[in-house]
């Protein structure tokens, strides 16, 4: 996770305001919607990142897209980011907001990397096994990385279990090159 002080500062300020107004869940949903919009529409990201487009035009576009979909506080926050020329920090701020949310709710995250996307039965199995092993609620973050060839890499907090084929092959290669 990015350790940008800007991301942390803005995310904590938004989170604090959301707690004060009892809108923590709603703001989290708003940020997820905005980020998903950016991921599914490259034009949206392009507009936000383009320094030629005036802030007032960006705000107008944002209002046209999101005014009926997100909380007024989220809209004001987006406007403030744009006016302060911090719209390029939106994704980092959203990640930190989610981090703060997870701390509040006692949710830890587990990153599960595979070579191919998981189907629902495997995803549910992985979640239940992790929950049994660690006896805590975990948010499963799925990463697809074809370079691991097969197997999986599970990362929870500071612990990592690497059961990938690529790591196994690297280990065999080291042993063949440097026999004891």
Do 116 and 94 sit in the same domain of this protein? no
**What pLDDT is stored for residue 107 in this prediction?**
80
Q: Specify the CATH number for the domain of residue 11.
A: 1.10.520.20
How far is the first Cα of the chain from the last one, in angstroms, to the nearest whole number? 39
- Say how many CA atoms lie within 13 Å of 117 toward its Cβ: 2
**What pLDDT is stored for residue 56 in this prediction?**
95
Do 71 and 94 sit in the same domain of this protein? yes
Do 91 and 133 sit in the same domain of this protein? no
> For residue 79, what are the domain limits?
5-103
**What pLDDT is stored for residue 110 in this prediction?**
85
pLDDT under 70: residue ranges of the chain:
1-3
**Residue 160: what are its φ and ψ, rounded to 5°?**
-135, 130
The residue count for the chain: 180
Domain final position from 42, 77, 103: 103
Domain final position from 81, 103, 125: 103
**What pLDDT is stored for residue 4 in this prediction?**
78
Do 158 and 89 sit in the same domain of this protein? no
Do 58 and 129 sit in the same domain of this protein? no
Do 152 and 69 sit in the same domain of this protein? no
Q: Return the axis-axis angle of helices 42-49 and 55-66, rounded to nearest 10°.
A: 150
- The structural domain count of the chain equals 2
**What pLDDT is stored for residue 145 in this prediction?**
92
Do 88 and 111 sit in the same domain of this protein? no
**What pLDDT is stored for residue 3 in this prediction?**
57
Do 35 and 70 sit in the same domain of this protein? yes
Do 27 and 95 sit in the same domain of this protein? yes
For the record, the structure tokens of 111 come out as 């990153």
**What pLDDT is stored for residue 136 in this prediction?**
72
Q: Are 98 and 67 in contact (CB under 8 A)?
A: no
d(CA 47, CA 57): 9
Per-residue pLDDT tens for 4-51?
Answer: 788 999 999 999 999 999 999 999 999 999 999 988 999 998 999 999
d(CA 141, CA 59): 31
């Amino acid at each position: 996770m990015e350790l940008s002080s800007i991301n942390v500062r803005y995310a904590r300020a938004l989170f604090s305001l959301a707690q004060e107004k009892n809108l923590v869940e709603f703001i989290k949903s708003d940020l997820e919607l905005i980020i998903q919009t950016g991921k599914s529409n490259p034009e949206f990201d392009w507009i936000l990142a383009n320094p030629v487009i005036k802030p007032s035009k960006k705000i107008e576009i944002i209002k046209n897209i999101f005014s009926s979909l997100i909380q007024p506080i989220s809209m004001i926050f987006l406007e403030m980011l744009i006016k302060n020329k911090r719209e390029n920090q939106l994704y980092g701020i959203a990640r930190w907001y989610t981090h703060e949310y997870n701390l509040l709710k006692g949710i830890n995250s587990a990153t599960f990397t595979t070579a191919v996307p998981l189907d629902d039965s495997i995803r549910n199995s992985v979640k239940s096994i992790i929950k049994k092993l660690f006896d805590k609620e975990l948010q499963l973050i799925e990463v697809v990385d074809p370079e691991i060839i097969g197997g999986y890499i599970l990362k929870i907090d500071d612990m990592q279990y690497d059961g990938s084929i690529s790591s196994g092959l690297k280990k065999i290669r080291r042993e063949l090159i440097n026999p004891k």
